[in-house]
């Protein structure tokens, strides 16, 4: 596996290597990070490594959105409710200070213990969650706050009430809201990027993935149940549809991979947060200098041109 992503990284690397070392340690960290990404890309992940990503992305000790909020944002103020009739605890939104600027943060939130898991509905949002997200997006637009979106959702909740409250339409409108914004939007998949439920808050200017996260059109189990007629074939399904960060980067779906501590984010949440914070800031900075119109136009172009133009035969 090679291609554009590899070329881009090689170019970045050689540019960095030739720079006078003004920024010292930070730059060498950057070099190391790029080299690591490059190594990952050149060595195509094996089926076993892909499955390892699936397991790490779902690890019960993996840091969730609020773990990162605690470590990355000051003056966090959480917004509650969709202003219609509910507050969905599976999707959090709020205001905070991120490295010197006020941001709106959106994030899917799972629970640690049985009680919290139930309260957070295992991180699976209802339409009310997307209602809250849209309200927060409008707030960001009104005040010119950039948006950070942390994606970690097994999938939008598949239940009777969720359908009655318009799950499909909510996901569509949440994306449409993002497509209209004049403020910068940076999204990062920090665990499971599960299908429509994930893209609802990931139509962003820059999309990142943590090293051991996955981004999927359907859960490996769901895909296996449909195509193999056996949910137990999830490993085969994952190997076939390649949901790992390296493949998503190669396919041009994401812009960069955010490194994690060696054994995975759950082994050192502080270090994972530092790496995530650096990556979010690095993505956000160049966007902040652009006009709102330009941001919006480029965001739409990004998704208009994702994947290659289909071939004609």
Partner 1 sequence: MTERIDVSIEHRHAPAADGGKPHPNTCPKCGSHYRDDELAASLYVCTQCGHHFPVHARDRIEQLTDADSFVEDAAELRSDDPLEFFDLRPYTERLAEAELSTGLGEAMVIGRAAIDDLPCQVAVMEFGFMGGSMGRVVGEKFARACEGAAERGVPLVSVTTTGGARMQEGILSLMQLPKTVCAVEDLHDSGGTLISVMAHPTTAGVLASFASLGDVLVAEPGALLSFTGPRVVQQTTREKLPEDFGLAEANFRHGHIDAIVPRPELRATLAKLLRLFANGR
Q: Where do contacts with partner 1 occur on this chain (CB under 8 A)?
A: 156, 158-160, 162-169, 171-173, 175-176, 179-180, 195-196, 198-200, 202-203, 215-218, 222-223, 226-228, 236-237, 240-243, 247-248, 251, 253, 299-300, 303-304, 306-313
Nearest alpha-carbon partner for 65 in 42, 29, 89:
89
Which run of H or E residues covers position 15? Answer: helix 4-18
CA distance 140 to 148: 10
Which is closer to partner 1, CB of 67 or CB of 244?
A: 244
What is 265-296 written as a DSSP string? GGG-HHHHHHHHHHHHHHHHHHHHTS-HHHHH
Which is nearer to partner 1, 112 or 300 (by Cβ)? 300
For 2, phi and psi rounded to 5 degrees?
-145, -125
**Closer residue to partner 1, CB minimum distance, 30 or 221:** 221
Q: Which is nearer to partner 1, 76 or 228 (CB)?
A: 228
- Whose Cβ is closer to partner 1: residue 103's or residue 248's? 248
The span from the CA of 57 to the CA of 160, in Å, is 27
Which is closer to partner 1, CB of 38 or CB of 253?
A: 253
- Least Cβ distance, residue 97 to partner 1 (angstroms): 29
Closest CA to 217 of 195, 241, 188, 244: 195
Phi and psi (nearest 5°) for 311?
-80, 155
Q: How far is the CB of 84 from partner 1 (least distance, A)?
A: 12
CB of 166 to partner 1, least distance (A): 5
Q: How far is the CB of 126 from partner 1 (least distance, A)?
A: 11
Q: Kindly tell me which of 73 and 106 has the beta carbon lying closer to partner 1.
A: 106
* Shortest spacing between CB 25 and partner 1, in angstroms: 35
Residue 243 CB, nearest approach to partner 1 (Å): 7
Report long-range pairs for 167-175 (Cβ below 8 Å, ≥24 apart).
167/126, 167/127, 168/196, 169/127, 170/127, 170/130, 170/131, 170/200, 171/130, 171/196, 171/197, 171/199, 171/200, 173/130, 173/134, 174/130, 174/133, 174/134, 174/137, 174/200, 174/201, 175/199, 175/200, 175/203
Tokens 């779902």 belong to 58
Residues near 122 by Cβ (< 8 Å), separated by ≥ 6?
A: 90, 110, 111, 154
For the beta carbon of residue 268, count every other beta carbon within 10 angstroms: 16
Q: Which is nearer to partner 1, 5 or 156 (CB)?
A: 156
Q: How far is the CB of 10 from partner 1 (least distance, A)?
A: 22
Q: Residue 200 Cβ, how far from partner 1 at the closest point, in Å?
A: 8
């Amino acid at each position: 596996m090679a291609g554009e992503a590899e070329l881009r990284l090689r170019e970045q690397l050689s540019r960095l290597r030739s720079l006078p070392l003004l920024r010292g340690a930070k730059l060498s960290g950057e070099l190391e990070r790029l080299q690591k990404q490059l190594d990952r890309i050149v060595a195509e992940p094996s089926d076993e490594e892909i499955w390892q990503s699936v397991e790490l992305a779902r690890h019960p000790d993996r840091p969730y959105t609020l773990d990162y909020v605690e470590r990355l944002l000051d003056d966090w103020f959480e917004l509650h409710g969709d202003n219609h009739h509910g507050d969905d605890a599976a999707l959090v939104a709020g205001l905070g200070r991120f490295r010197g600027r006020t941001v709106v943060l959106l994030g899917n939130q799972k629970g640690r213990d049985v009680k919290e898991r139930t309260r957070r509905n295992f991180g699976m949002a209802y339409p009310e969650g997307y209602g809250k997200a849209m309200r927060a997006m409008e707030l960001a637009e009104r005040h010119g706050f950039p948006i950070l979106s942390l994606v970690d959702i097994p999938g939008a909740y598949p239940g009777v009430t969720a359908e009655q409250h318009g799950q499909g339409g909510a996901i569509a409108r949440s994306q449409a809201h993002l497509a209209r914004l004049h403020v910068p939007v940076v999204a990062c998949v920090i665990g499971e990027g599960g299908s429509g439920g994930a893209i609802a808050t990931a139509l962003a200017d820059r999309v990142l993935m943590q090293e051991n996260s996955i981004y999927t059109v359907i859960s490996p189990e769901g895909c296996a149940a449909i195509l193999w007629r056996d949910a137990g074939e999830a490993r085969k399904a994952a190997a076939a549809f390649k949901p790992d960060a390296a493949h998503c980067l190669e396919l041009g779906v994401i812009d960069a991979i955010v490194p994690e501590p060696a054994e995975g984010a759950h082994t050192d949440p502080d270090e994972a947060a530092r790496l995530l914070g650096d990556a979010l800031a690095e993505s956000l900075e160049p966007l902040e200098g652009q006009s709102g119109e330009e941001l919006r136009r480029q965001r739409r172009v990004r998704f208009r041109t994702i994947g290659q133009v289909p071939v004609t035969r």
